[in-house]
Structure 1
Protein backbone atom coordinates (compact mmCIF):
# COMPACT_ATOMS: atom_id res chain seq x y z
CA UNK A 1 0.00 0.00 0.00
CA UNK A 2 1.24 3.45 -0.87
CA UNK A 3 0.33 6.87 0.39
CA UNK A 4 -2.33 8.19 -1.99
CA UNK A 5 -1.98 11.32 -4.07
CA UNK A 6 -4.81 12.86 -2.05
CA UNK A 7 -3.05 12.08 1.24
CA UNK A 8 0.23 13.46 -0.11
CA UNK A 9 -1.44 16.70 -1.21
CA UNK A 10 -3.21 17.01 2.15
CA UNK A 11 0.11 16.48 3.96
CA UNK A 12 1.83 19.13 1.84
CA UNK A 13 -1.00 21.62 2.43
CA UNK A 14 -0.77 21.11 6.20
CA UNK A 15 3.01 21.41 6.11
CA UNK A 16 2.76 24.65 4.14
CA UNK A 17 0.26 26.01 6.66
CA UNK A 18 2.61 25.13 9.54
CA UNK A 19 5.59 26.69 7.75
CA UNK A 20 3.57 29.87 7.18
CA UNK A 21 2.52 29.87 10.85
CA UNK A 22 6.14 29.86 12.00
CA UNK A 23 7.26 32.24 9.26
CA UNK A 24 9.58 30.09 7.18
CA UNK A 25 9.82 28.82 3.62
CA UNK A 26 10.25 25.11 3.06
CA UNK A 27 10.78 22.42 0.49
CA UNK A 28 8.39 19.54 1.20
CA UNK A 29 8.62 16.06 -0.34
CA UNK A 30 6.29 13.10 0.10
CA UNK A 31 7.43 9.66 -1.03
CA UNK A 32 5.46 6.44 -1.30
CA UNK A 33 6.38 3.20 0.46
CA UNK A 34 8.93 2.43 -2.26
CA UNK A 35 10.63 5.77 -1.48
CA UNK A 36 9.60 7.15 -4.88
CA UNK A 37 8.47 10.77 -5.08
CA UNK A 38 4.69 11.16 -4.84
CA UNK A 39 4.38 14.94 -4.38
CA UNK A 40 6.68 17.90 -3.91
CA UNK A 41 6.52 21.64 -3.39
CA UNK A 42 9.07 24.41 -3.01
CA UNK A 43 7.54 27.38 -1.27
CA UNK A 44 8.37 30.83 -2.61
CA UNK A 45 11.72 31.86 -1.19
CA UNK A 46 12.76 28.36 -0.11
CA UNK A 47 16.41 27.51 -0.72
CA UNK A 48 17.26 25.58 -3.87
CA UNK A 49 19.66 23.44 -1.80
CA UNK A 50 16.75 22.29 0.33
CA UNK A 51 15.14 20.46 -2.60
CA UNK A 52 17.59 17.55 -2.42
CA UNK A 53 17.64 17.58 1.38
CA UNK A 54 13.84 17.34 1.68
CA UNK A 55 13.73 14.44 -0.75
CA UNK A 56 16.58 12.61 1.00
CA UNK A 57 14.95 13.14 4.41
CA UNK A 58 11.73 11.60 3.10
CA UNK A 59 13.61 8.66 1.57
CA UNK A 60 15.67 8.11 4.73
CA UNK A 61 12.54 8.05 6.92
CA UNK A 62 10.93 5.62 4.49
CA UNK A 63 13.95 3.32 4.15
CA UNK A 64 14.27 2.84 7.91
CA UNK A 65 10.74 3.47 9.19
CA UNK A 66 11.80 6.05 11.74
CA UNK A 67 12.28 9.77 12.11
CA UNK A 68 15.51 11.00 10.58
CA UNK A 69 16.47 12.64 13.88
CA UNK A 70 16.39 9.23 15.55
CA UNK A 71 18.69 7.83 12.90
CA UNK A 72 20.97 10.79 13.51
CA UNK A 73 21.21 9.91 17.20
CA UNK A 74 22.16 6.35 16.31
CA UNK A 75 24.72 7.42 13.71
CA UNK A 76 26.95 9.54 15.92
CA UNK A 77 30.61 8.48 16.27
CA UNK A 78 30.69 5.30 18.30
CA UNK A 79 26.99 4.66 17.63
CA UNK A 80 25.62 1.47 16.10
CA UNK A 81 24.78 3.22 12.80
CA UNK A 82 27.88 5.37 12.49
CA UNK A 83 28.51 6.11 8.82
CA UNK A 84 25.03 5.08 7.61
CA UNK A 85 24.54 8.43 5.87
CA UNK A 86 26.95 7.23 3.18
CA UNK A 87 24.70 4.33 2.19
CA UNK A 88 21.78 4.32 -0.25
CA UNK A 89 23.26 7.08 -2.43
CA UNK A 90 23.29 9.41 0.57
CA UNK A 91 20.95 9.72 3.54
CA UNK A 92 20.05 12.66 5.73
CA UNK A 93 20.33 11.86 9.42
CA UNK A 94 19.07 15.02 11.08
CA UNK A 95 15.44 15.95 11.88
CA UNK A 96 12.85 16.73 9.24
CA UNK A 97 11.94 13.30 7.85
CA UNK A 98 8.92 11.45 9.28
CA UNK A 99 7.42 8.11 8.20
CA UNK A 100 3.76 7.91 7.22
CA UNK A 101 1.97 4.79 8.44
CA UNK A 102 -1.59 3.59 7.96
CA UNK A 103 -4.10 2.73 10.68
CA UNK A 104 -2.62 -0.78 10.89
CA UNK A 105 0.88 0.55 11.52
CA UNK A 106 2.06 -0.30 7.99
CA UNK A 107 4.53 2.09 6.39
CA UNK A 108 2.91 3.75 3.36
CA UNK A 109 5.43 6.54 2.73
CA UNK A 110 7.24 9.43 4.36
CA UNK A 111 7.52 13.20 4.34
CA UNK A 112 10.73 15.20 4.27
CA UNK A 113 11.03 18.91 4.98
CA UNK A 114 13.98 21.26 4.66
CA UNK A 115 14.47 25.00 4.78
CA UNK A 116 14.84 26.13 8.38
CA UNK A 117 16.26 24.86 11.65
CA UNK A 118 16.03 21.11 12.12
CA UNK A 119 13.52 21.70 14.92
CA UNK A 120 11.29 23.68 12.55
CA UNK A 121 11.79 21.12 9.79
CA UNK A 122 10.59 18.34 12.11
CA UNK A 123 7.64 20.43 13.33
CA UNK A 124 6.50 21.12 9.77
CA UNK A 125 6.98 17.48 8.71
CA UNK A 126 5.01 16.25 11.71
CA UNK A 127 2.18 18.66 10.86
CA UNK A 128 2.04 17.09 7.41
CA UNK A 129 1.78 13.58 8.85
CA UNK A 130 -0.65 14.55 11.61
CA UNK A 131 -3.27 15.89 9.20
CA UNK A 132 -3.56 12.53 7.48
CA UNK A 133 -4.99 11.22 10.73
CA UNK A 134 -2.45 8.50 11.36
CA UNK A 135 -0.48 10.21 14.11
CA UNK A 136 -2.35 8.73 17.06
CA UNK A 137 -1.13 5.19 16.55
CA UNK A 138 0.35 3.18 19.40
CA UNK A 139 3.96 3.84 20.29
CA UNK A 140 6.34 3.03 17.44
CA UNK A 141 9.90 4.21 16.75
CA UNK A 142 8.66 6.91 14.34
CA UNK A 143 6.26 8.50 16.83
CA UNK A 144 8.74 10.72 18.69
Structure 2
Protein backbone atom coordinates (compact mmCIF):
# COMPACT_ATOMS: atom_id res chain seq x y z
CA UNK A 1 0.00 0.00 0.00
CA UNK A 2 1.26 3.47 -0.87
CA UNK A 3 1.53 5.85 2.06
CA UNK A 4 1.35 9.01 -0.01
CA UNK A 5 -0.76 10.15 -2.92
CA UNK A 6 0.73 12.43 -5.56
CA UNK A 7 -2.10 14.66 -6.78
CA UNK A 8 -1.95 17.63 -9.11
CA UNK A 9 -3.95 20.79 -8.54
CA UNK A 10 -4.27 24.17 -10.22
CA UNK A 11 -2.48 27.16 -8.79
CA UNK A 12 -3.21 30.83 -8.41
CA UNK A 13 -2.13 31.86 -11.92
CA UNK A 14 -4.43 29.29 -13.53
CA UNK A 15 -7.28 30.35 -11.25
CA UNK A 16 -6.78 34.02 -12.13
CA UNK A 17 -6.81 33.16 -15.83
CA UNK A 18 -10.11 31.34 -15.31
CA UNK A 19 -11.66 34.33 -13.53
CA UNK A 20 -10.39 36.81 -16.13
CA UNK A 21 -11.71 34.73 -19.02
CA UNK A 22 -15.05 34.07 -17.34
CA UNK A 23 -15.51 37.78 -16.65
CA UNK A 24 -14.63 38.63 -20.26
CA UNK A 25 -17.21 36.14 -21.57
CA UNK A 26 -19.84 37.36 -19.10
CA UNK A 27 -19.13 40.95 -20.15
CA UNK A 28 -19.60 40.03 -23.82
CA UNK A 29 -22.96 38.45 -22.91
CA UNK A 30 -23.98 41.44 -20.80
CA UNK A 31 -24.43 39.25 -17.73
CA UNK A 32 -22.94 40.38 -14.39
CA UNK A 33 -21.79 37.29 -12.52
CA UNK A 34 -19.71 36.03 -9.64
CA UNK A 35 -16.89 33.61 -10.45
CA UNK A 36 -15.18 31.30 -7.97
CA UNK A 37 -12.24 29.02 -8.73
CA UNK A 38 -11.18 26.30 -6.30
CA UNK A 39 -8.36 23.79 -6.21
CA UNK A 40 -8.98 20.03 -6.31
CA UNK A 41 -9.73 20.03 -2.58
CA UNK A 42 -12.38 22.76 -2.88
CA UNK A 43 -10.29 25.57 -1.39
CA UNK A 44 -10.90 29.00 -2.90
CA UNK A 45 -8.02 30.25 -5.07
CA UNK A 46 -9.55 33.17 -6.96
CA UNK A 47 -12.83 35.02 -6.94
CA UNK A 48 -14.42 37.89 -8.82
CA UNK A 49 -17.74 39.68 -8.47
CA UNK A 50 -18.68 41.85 -11.41
CA UNK A 51 -20.33 45.19 -10.79
CA UNK A 52 -24.09 44.69 -10.36
CA UNK A 53 -23.82 40.91 -9.89
CA UNK A 54 -26.47 39.67 -7.48
CA UNK A 55 -25.17 39.51 -3.92
CA UNK A 56 -26.53 36.00 -3.32
CA UNK A 57 -24.61 34.81 -6.39
CA UNK A 58 -21.34 35.15 -4.47
CA UNK A 59 -22.02 32.13 -2.25
CA UNK A 60 -23.75 30.18 -5.01
CA UNK A 61 -20.70 30.50 -7.30
CA UNK A 62 -18.42 29.25 -4.55
CA UNK A 63 -20.79 26.38 -3.73
CA UNK A 64 -21.00 25.36 -7.39
CA UNK A 65 -17.21 25.13 -7.59
CA UNK A 66 -17.09 23.28 -4.26
CA UNK A 67 -19.73 20.78 -5.41
CA UNK A 68 -17.63 19.93 -8.45
CA UNK A 69 -14.45 19.56 -6.41
CA UNK A 70 -16.23 17.39 -3.86
CA UNK A 71 -17.79 14.99 -6.38
CA UNK A 72 -15.92 15.54 -9.66
CA UNK A 73 -19.22 16.01 -11.47
CA UNK A 74 -20.40 19.17 -13.25
CA UNK A 75 -23.36 20.67 -11.43
CA UNK A 76 -25.61 20.52 -14.52
CA UNK A 77 -25.40 16.70 -14.47
CA UNK A 78 -26.75 16.33 -10.92
CA UNK A 79 -30.48 16.78 -11.47
CA UNK A 80 -30.74 14.03 -14.11
CA UNK A 81 -29.01 11.65 -11.69
CA UNK A 82 -31.41 12.28 -8.82
CA UNK A 83 -34.74 13.24 -10.42
CA UNK A 84 -36.11 9.69 -10.48
CA UNK A 85 -34.95 8.82 -6.96
CA UNK A 86 -37.34 10.49 -4.48
CA UNK A 87 -35.14 9.88 -1.43
CA UNK A 88 -32.16 11.52 -3.12
CA UNK A 89 -34.17 14.26 -4.76
CA UNK A 90 -35.70 15.36 -1.46
CA UNK A 91 -32.77 14.50 0.79
CA UNK A 92 -29.45 15.23 -0.87
CA UNK A 93 -30.50 18.68 -2.01
CA UNK A 94 -30.54 19.67 1.65
CA UNK A 95 -26.81 18.94 1.87
CA UNK A 96 -24.89 22.11 2.68
CA UNK A 97 -23.03 23.58 -0.29
CA UNK A 98 -24.42 21.07 -2.82
CA UNK A 99 -25.73 22.72 -5.99
CA UNK A 100 -27.67 20.65 -8.54
CA UNK A 101 -28.06 23.12 -11.42
CA UNK A 102 -25.69 24.43 -14.08
CA UNK A 103 -22.73 26.72 -13.60
CA UNK A 104 -20.12 24.52 -11.90
CA UNK A 105 -17.59 22.70 -14.06
CA UNK A 106 -14.39 20.76 -13.46
CA UNK A 107 -10.91 21.80 -14.52
CA UNK A 108 -9.15 18.66 -15.69
CA UNK A 109 -5.73 17.74 -17.02
CA UNK A 110 -5.34 14.35 -18.70
CA UNK A 111 -8.68 13.31 -17.22
CA UNK A 112 -7.64 14.22 -13.66
CA UNK A 113 -9.65 16.74 -11.64
CA UNK A 114 -7.29 19.59 -10.71
CA UNK A 115 -9.83 22.27 -9.78
CA UNK A 116 -13.27 23.68 -10.50
CA UNK A 117 -14.99 26.87 -11.65
CA UNK A 118 -18.34 28.06 -10.35
CA UNK A 119 -20.35 30.90 -11.90
CA UNK A 120 -23.61 32.44 -10.73
CA UNK A 121 -25.63 35.46 -11.82
CA UNK A 122 -27.10 34.56 -15.19
CA UNK A 123 -29.34 31.75 -16.37
CA UNK A 124 -28.04 28.24 -15.79
CA UNK A 125 -27.18 28.04 -19.49
CA UNK A 126 -25.22 31.31 -19.32
CA UNK A 127 -23.52 30.34 -16.07
CA UNK A 128 -22.44 27.02 -17.57
CA UNK A 129 -21.07 28.62 -20.75
CA UNK A 130 -19.14 31.21 -18.74
CA UNK A 131 -17.79 28.58 -16.33
CA UNK A 132 -16.72 26.31 -19.20
CA UNK A 133 -14.85 29.21 -20.79
CA UNK A 134 -13.08 29.91 -17.52
CA UNK A 135 -12.20 26.25 -17.00
CA UNK A 136 -10.75 26.03 -20.52
CA UNK A 137 -8.54 29.04 -19.79
CA UNK A 138 -7.25 27.44 -16.59
CA UNK A 139 -6.15 24.24 -18.31
CA UNK A 140 -2.49 24.49 -19.24
CA UNK A 141 -1.55 24.03 -22.87
CA UNK A 142 1.24 21.74 -21.77
CA UNK A 143 2.19 20.19 -18.48
CA UNK A 144 5.82 19.60 -17.52
CA UNK A 145 6.97 16.21 -16.27
CA UNK A 146 7.05 17.59 -12.73
CA UNK A 147 3.34 18.40 -12.97
CA UNK A 148 3.79 22.15 -13.14
CA UNK A 149 2.09 24.40 -15.63
CA UNK A 150 4.35 25.46 -18.48
> With structure 1 as the length reference, what TM-score do the two structures score?
0.85
Residues in 2 aligned to 1:37 and 1:132: alpha-carbon distance in whole angstroms: 14
Residues in 2 aligned to 1:68 and 1:131: alpha-carbon distance in whole angstroms: 19
- Which string of whole-angstrom CA distances, capped at 9 and with x for unpartnered residues, describes residues 79-103 of structure 1? 684332223x23110000001111x
Partner of 1:27: 34
Partner of 1:111: 117
SS at match of 1:131: helix
Computed over aligned residues only, the root mean square deviation of the Cα atoms, in angstroms, reads 1.8
> With structure 2 as the length reference, what TM-score do the two structures score?
0.82
Contact 1:74 1:80 in 2 (8 A): no
SS at match of 2:138: coil
Contact 2:117 2:131 in 1 (8 A): yes
Runs of 4+ residues deviating >6 angstroms: none
Q: Does 1:70 align with 2:77?
A: yes
* Alignment gaps of 5+ in structure 1: 136-144
Contact 1:100 1:134 in 2 (8 A): no
Matched residue pairs, number? 133
SS at match of 2:53: coil
Residues in 2 aligned to 1:114 and 1:24: alpha-carbon distance in whole angstroms: 10
Q: Does 1:97 align with 2:104?
A: yes
- Which string of whole-angstrom CA distances, capped at 9 and with x for unpartnered residues, describes residues 3-51 of structure 1? 1100000011110011011111000000111101111010011011001
Partner of 1:16: 23
Q: Does 1:52 align with 2:59?
A: yes
Say which one has the larger Rg. 2
